[in-house]
Structure 1
Amino acid sequence: MKNRTLIFEETFNEGTLPNQSNWDYDVGGKGWGNGELQYYTYANPENVKIQDGKLIITAVKKEVEGHPITSTRLVTRGKKHWLYGRFEVRTKMPKGKGTWPAIWMLGVDEENLGWPRMGEIDIMEHVGRDQDTVHFSLHTEKYNHPKKTQITYVSKIANVSDEFKTYVMDWSEDKISFEVDNQHYATFYKKDYADSWPFDKPHYLILNLAMGGGFGGQVDMTCLPATLEIESIRVYQ
C-alpha cells in the first residue's frame, strides 16, 4: 500500500482461541447499555474459536445468569490501541432477526471520560432485522445515539451474510472515511464536527456479536446458533 506500513495483522491461522497478546474479553450480561439479551463468556469455545483460517464468534441458545443466549465480545483494550491508520477487516455477517454484529472502536480514556465523550468509531454494524443494510457511524459527546444525533451513513450492500467482504475505516487527523470492497461510502470531516471530535486520541478495537436490544430488535431464537466470521484484520499507518 502506497506510503503505508502494515503495523498489525491477524490472519487467524494459529491456535484454537484468539491470541492473548492482542485480545481480551468483555464478560457478563448487563445489557451493555442497550438492553441486549446475550451473556458474554470468557474464552469459551462454544462462543469463540479459530478454525480453518477464520475467527468464528457464535451466539448460542444457552441460559447463563438469566440470559437466554451466550456470545463473545473481544477487545484489544490494554493490549493494542491506535491513533490514525487504515483498518481493514474481512468478515461475513450472521443471518437472523435479532443478530447485531459490530466491528468498532472506543477511545482508551473511558475511565476518565466515559461514553460517549471518549469517542466511538463504528467500522461496521449490521442488524438481521434489516438484512444487507450496513451502518457506518461516529459517536461523540454532542453527536450520539441517545440524542439521535450520531454521525452516521447507512447503505444497502448485497450479500453481506453470504460472502466475505472487506470493511475499511481510514482515519487521519482531519477525517474518517469508510469503504467496502474498494467502494467508498462515506467521509466525515473534523471541520464539520470540530466542537465535538474526540478522534485525536488512541482507540482500541472491539469485535462482538450482540443479540436483541434497542438496535438489534426482537430475536428469532430459531436463527441460533448464529456466527460472525472474520478472515483477517490489518492496520496500516
Structure 2
Amino acid sequence: MEGSYSLVWEDQFDYEGKPDPNKWHLETGGHGFGNAEKQYYTDCIENAYVKEGKLTIVAKKEDYKNNNYTSAKLSTNGIDSWQYGRFEIKAKLPKGQGTWPAIWMLSDAFKGGRRWPLCGEIDIMEHVGRDQDKIHFSLHSEKYNHNKKTQLTDFHHIEGVSETFKIYTVEWTPEYIRFLVDNTPYKTFYKAENNCNNDTDEVCWPFDQPFYLILNIALGGFLGGRIDDAIFPQKLEVDYVRIYQKNDE
C-alpha cells in the first residue's frame, strides 16, 4: 500500500484467560445464522481462551441448548470499528469435513438494523474443511452476493494452512480491496471495475463506512456441508491481530 501507515489497534494475546473484553465481544447463539449452521456460539472459556501467546477458538462435539456442537465467535462489534486500512491476522486453521472457519468483517450498519447484504461483508479468509487448503476471499453487497450467485469472490490453493501459521491480510482503500496471504497478493477487487463509481451507491459498493472484525469457526450449513464427528475438537489459533491505517485517514 502506498503512503505512511501507523498501527492503530492490536491484540498480541500476551495474557491468559478469556479474550480481553476491552477488545473482543463473545457473540452467543445457535439459530443457524441464515446459513443453517449447526454450532452454538458460547461465551465459555472452553470455546475461546488465550494461553501461551495465542487465542484459541475451539469447536467441539457436545450437546448445548438444543444444538449438537459448540464453538465461539469473537467480534469487535460495539467496541471498535474502522474505515479503510490494512488488517493482518496471523492464524492456523482447523481441518476436517464440516469445519468452516472465517476471518471477516461486517459494517456497523448491520448491528444498526441494516439488513444483510446491503450492510456489506468483507471475507478476509474462509476455509471449508472438505476442500483442504483452499482459501476463499469474497465481498458481499446488495448487488453482488452469494444468494444471487454474483458475489465478488476468488479462491486459491495455499499449502499447509492447518499445519502452519499464515498471515491473512486485507488492504482496504476507497478505490480497491486487496487480499493477501503471507504478503503475497492473490486478488484485488476495484470499485471502478465493478461499475461502482458512484460513491453513494451502497447497493453496489457498501465499503465506504466503518466495519468491525469477526473471528469464528462455523460448522456445517450451506457452505460447510456434512460434519464428520470424528474430527473433534478442532481449533482456530490466532497469534496476533494488527490493524494499520493511513496517517491522514
Which category of TM-score, normalised to the shorter sequence, fits these structures? Answer: over 0.9
Match of 1:138 in 2: 139
Q: Partners in 2 of 1:109 and 1:167 — Cα distance?
A: 24
Hey, which bits of structure 1, 4+ residues long, moved more than 6 A? none
Task: Give the 5 Å matches for 1:10-159.
Answer: 10-42=11-43, 44-110=44-110, 111-159=112-160
Q: Which structure 2 residues correspond to residues 166-185 of structure 1 after superposition, within 5 A? A: 166-185=167-186
Q: Distance in 2 between matches of 1:104 and 1:112?
A: 19
2:218 matched residue in structure 1:
210
Structure 2: gaps spanning 5 or more residues: none
Deviations 1:60-116 (A, max 9, x none): 111012211000001111101000000000000001110000000001011332110
1:198 is matched with 206
- One-letter code aligned to 2:228: D
CA distance in 1, matches of 2:142, 2:109: 13
**1:140 Cα deviation (Å)?**
0.2
TM-score, normalised via structure 1 length: 0.97
Tell me how far apart the structure 2 counterparts of residues 146 and 25 of structure 1 sit (CA, whole Å). 27
| TM-score normalized with structure 2 length | 0.93
- Displacement, 1:169? 0.2
- What is the SS of the residue equivalent to 1:218? coil
Q: Deviations over 1:178-222 (max 9, x none)?
A: 010111100000112305000000000000001100000100011
The answer to whether the 8 A contact 2:16-2:52 is kept is: no
Taking the aligned partners of 1:162 and 1:206, their CA distance within structure 2 comes to: 22
Q: Give the 3-state SS of the residue equivalent to 1:222 in structure 2.
A: helix
- Give 5+ residue unaligned stretches, structure 1: none
Kindly provide the amino acid, as one letter, of the partner of residue 105 in structure 1.
Answer: M
Corresponding position: 1:225 with 2:233: yes
**Counterpart of 2:30 in structure 1: which amino acid?**
G
Q: Matched residue pairs, number?
A: 236
SS in structure 2 of the partner of residue 113 of structure 1: coil
Aligned residues of 2:57 and 2:236 also touching (Cα < 8 A): yes
